[in-house]
Amino acid sequence: MQIDEIIGNFELLDEWEDRYRYLIELGRTLEPLPQEAYTDANKVRGCASQVWLETTPTRDADGRAALAFRGDSDAHIVRGLVALVLALYSGRPAQEIVETDAAPLFKELGLAEHLTPQRANGLRSMVERIKKEAKEAMAA
């Protein structure tokens, strides 16, 4: 699902109960990870729930380094947050990933004030990991 579509759907939902349900539904749309992707190397540190991110380096149409991500979590709402982060970053050129600040989006969606501190930290950890991998891809 595209990030613009997710933002539009969020804006249609007034109640946070409905937004949480929508996040859970987003998580259900994630492509399942293969069993071999559940490794310590793919585990995201700093998340209270277990989160795995699998990174596949690619090239965009202009030959620039790009990254595709797949992910999963053992918690329903967190899996939805993984889907949100992947919609924002996956498949984009590494340079764009590094330059894209997720904080304004999270604030616009109201996540900043409606997530527990642990979930907010986990969300930041996912974004930091993705940006770190993008910087490494650019340097390679």
- Annotated catalytic residue, options 23, 47, 87, 130: 47
Which two structure tokens, joined as six digits, stand for 33?
């990870």
Active-site residue 47, yes or no? Answer: yes
Which two structure tokens, joined as six digits, stand for 121?
């930290």
Sheet with 51-59: strands ordered across: 51-59, 65-73, 92-93
Sign of the dihedral defined by the CA atoms of residues 118, 103, 95, 69, in that order = positive
Among 138, 129, 115, 117, residue whose Cα is nearest residue 57: 138
Active site residues: 47
